[in-house]
Amino acid sequence: MPEAVDAVEMQAALSRLRRTSGLPVVFGGLLSDARHARIAELNGAQTSALRGLVISAGSGLGGKAIALSRPCAVTDYPASRHISHEYDAAVAAEGLRSVVAAPVVVRRAVRGVLYGALRTPVTLGDRTFDAVVAAARDVEQSLAVRDSARQLLAAGRERVSDPDAVPGAWEDVREAHRDLRALVPKVVDPALRDELLEVCGRLASASGAKESTAREVRLAPREVDVVACVAAGATNAAAAERLGLRPETVKGYLRSAMRKLGAHTRLEAVVAARRAGLLP
């Protein structure tokens, strides 16, 4: 599963990079250990010469970027005196000349490397350089979200198992539910997103508090997110910051949720949502 998710994140970033920068060739891969990255994703390549290439820290342009943990570029790859040339055959087969490599760094650890290249030896402008770096940042953010999701999934499953076994654990359940729901819209991979939602559902129903006589209430996902934030005591502004929404949008979702729940106050909305099994 993690490898499949990694591929989705890298593919999405490379596709956006090529579209926004106009670079004819973009490629990259994640580290298999502390010193080696495997080029697994290519966009715009005319040959398969780069696919599967293992880049060692310190070797070539990408290896230099990995070792230094910062972006590096060359105007003419074959003639550059600032890099080693272990990968010249693959680079020449693809006809690459001007190349930039940016490391993917998550919590100070290099996790991969992303490249953009031209088939002519020209100096890359700041705009192109910045686009490659921004694409690497996109992958970093996605991997950080994936890591957080995995940690929260593990914690959420523990909370679901027996929340009454530990005094005060219901607050942990509710916190895990809020955190998971806030992550869902940020996750690119649909399988991981479905897994997050499945655990959210299990957390919401863990108390068995849904009243058999209660009318069926259906809230939109964002309405549930907002009510979950309200349950934690968040203001509209705080909920907006947490969910990446505008305060006015949060207010609209809350108003709609309250109407569906038959609530007249924020507290009534939280109580009704818990009775309906929408919140833990």
Q: Are 272 and 209 in contact (CB under 8 A)?
A: no
Name the nearest CA neighbour of 98 among 114, 127, 75, 68.
75
- Pair of tokens at residue 214: 């209660």
Q: How far, in Å, CA of 197 to CA of 188, rounded?
A: 13
Most confident segment among 9-13, 179-183, 194-198: 9-13
Q: What is the pLDDT of residue 41?
A: 93
The mean per-residue pLDDT over the stretch 57-63 comes to: 97
Rounded to whole angstroms, how far apart are CA atoms 221 and 206? 18
Query: According to the per-residue pLDDT averaged within each range, which of 145-149, 154-158, 211-215, 240-244 is highest?
Result: 240-244
| Run of H or E residues at 101 | strand 98-106
- pLDDT tier for residue 216 given thresholds of 50, 70 and 90: confident
| Helix, strand, coil fractions of the chain, as percent rounded to 5 | 55, 15, 30
Q: Are 180 and 198 in contact (CB under 8 A)?
A: no
Give the β-pairing of 98-106 and 36-38.
unpaired
Q: How far apart are CA 185 and CA 195, in angstroms?
A: 13
Coil, strand or helix at 196: helix
Q: Supply the DSSP symbol for 186.
A: G
**Phi-psi domain of 52 (left: phi exceeds 0; alpha: psi -120 through 50; beta: other):** left
pLDDT of residue 212: 46
CB-CB contact of 103 with 66 (8 Å) = yes
The model scores a pTM over 0.75: no
> What is the per-residue pLDDT for 114?
96
- Report the alpha-carbon distance of residue 123 to residue 76 in Å, rounded: 8
Q: Which residue is listed with tokens 């108390």?
A: 207
Q: What are phi and psi of 23, to 5 degrees?
A: -65, 135
Number of other CB atoms surrounding residue 246 within 10 Å: 12
Lowest-confidence range among 143-157, 219-233, 255-269? 143-157
pLDDT average, residue stretch 78-98: 96
Query: Which residue would you say has higher pLDDT here, 149 or 47?
Result: 47
Q: Is residue 215's pLDDT more than 60?
A: no
Taking residue 49's Cβ as centre, other Cβ atoms within 10 Å add up to 19
Q: Is the predicted pLDDT of residue 22 greater than 80, yes or no?
A: yes
Examine the pLDDT at 92 and tell me if it is beyond 50.
yes
pLDDT at 25 over 70: yes
Q: What is the pLDDT of residue 213?
A: 42
Helix axes 126-161, 2-21, angle to 10 degrees: 150
In this model, does residue 153 exceed pLDDT 90? Answer: no
Mean pLDDT estimate for the chain: 85
Q: How far apart are the C-alpha atoms of 164 and 192, rounded to whole Å? A: 28
* CA dihedral (111, 112, 113, 114) positive or negative: negative
Amino acid at 107: R
